[in-house]
Amino acid sequence: MRTGSTARRLMAASLSLLLASCGTTRYSGPSPMDAHELSSSVLVIKDVWGAGVTHSWEPMSSFDLSRYPSRAIDSSLAGRTVRVAWTRNCEDERDACVEMCMKSLTGPDWSHASKGSRFKICDGRCRPAYIDCCRLREQAEVRNFPVVDDAVDWLKQHRKEVLVGTVVAIAGVAFVVIVVGTGGAALILAPAVLLVSSDVSSELPPMAVKP
């Protein structure tokens, strides 16, 4: 349900971008100042040879998505979006790992072991898998950054791990990763807020809907 609606919103976002791409002037302005400005801007992060990772905020109205191969907007989008759904429980996996390990450390060889030492060994053995699970979970979680600069820094740092469809909340505005690693851009994020209007009618109470 949630996935379907996200996919629909992404689809709508992409269409809006395509429609908005008629303008030809290019503009790389400073960071947007408020939520209104944010929600009509696109964030582009690039790997530039010799200059490291750069970013720019571009107004929706002049953004030309057609310059980027639009793999992200084709019909496989829904499939890609599913990949960010997180279903693992790292804590349960860790408990199961320790339990299995404890069972393997039984028998006469272990009868001399001091109290708690088997648990320590198993805890240590299961630790790397747990940390790995936590790391992946954090990547899949909806990221929330109250400060714009923190979001940009995090996205630059994790540009190679972020998946299409990942939602990042920047200063209260939800952004969706729509392009990853194509056409010279490492990442492109578009605000999801614009798209709410496309399926808002189903969420409004009946009395608010005007004929």
Partner 1 sequence: MARDALLFIEVTGQRYRFEDFRKSPGTGVPPRAEGFASLRERLNKTAEFFTQLRDEPESAAERELIQVILDALHFISSTDQYSAFGEYVAHVEAGGPPYVVAAFATKEEAEAWLKQLPQPPDSANILIANRYHDVVHDLKAHVLRLPRSRALAYYLAELKKEQPPSAVASFRSLEEATAWLQSQSEPASWAWVLIAGEFYLAAYYRNIHHRALYPLSMSKGYDEKSKETPRQ
Give residues in contact with partner 1 (CB under 8 A).
90-91, 94-95, 98, 102-103, 106-108, 111, 115-116, 118-120, 123, 127, 130-132, 134-135, 138
Q: Which CB atom, from 22 or from 147, has the smaller least distance to partner 1?
A: 147
Alpha-carbon distance of 187 to 148, in angstroms, equals 16
**What whole-number distance in Å separates Cα of residue 15 and Cα of residue 175?**
15
Min dist. Cβ of residue 164 to partner 1 (A) = 23
CB of 131 to partner 1, least distance (A): 5
How near is the Cβ of 88 to partner 1 at its closest, in Å?
A: 14
Task: Report the residue number, 162 or 185, with the smaller CB distance to partner 1.
Answer: 162
Which of 113/142 has CB closer to partner 1?
Answer: 113
Q: If residue 90 lies in a helix (H) or strand (E), which one and from where to where?
A: helix 90-104
In the complex, minimum distance from the CB of residue 108 to partner 1, in angstroms, rounded to a whole number = 6
Instruction: Identify the sign of the CA torsion 17, 18, 22, 26.
Output: positive
Q: What is the DSSP string of 139-198?
A: HHSPEEESSHHHHHHHHHHTTTTPPTT-EEEETTEEEEEEEEEETTEEEEEEESGGGGGG
Q: Report the nearest approach of partner 1 to the CB of residue 92 (Å).
A: 10
Q: Encoding tokens for residue 77?
A: 């989008």
Cα–Cα nearest to 61, from 20, 32, 15 = 20
Residue number with CB closer to partner 1 (64 or 123) = 123
Taking a C-beta distance cutoff of 8 angstroms, is the pair 68, 39 a contact?
no
Of 40 and 154, nearer to partner 1 (C-beta) is: 154
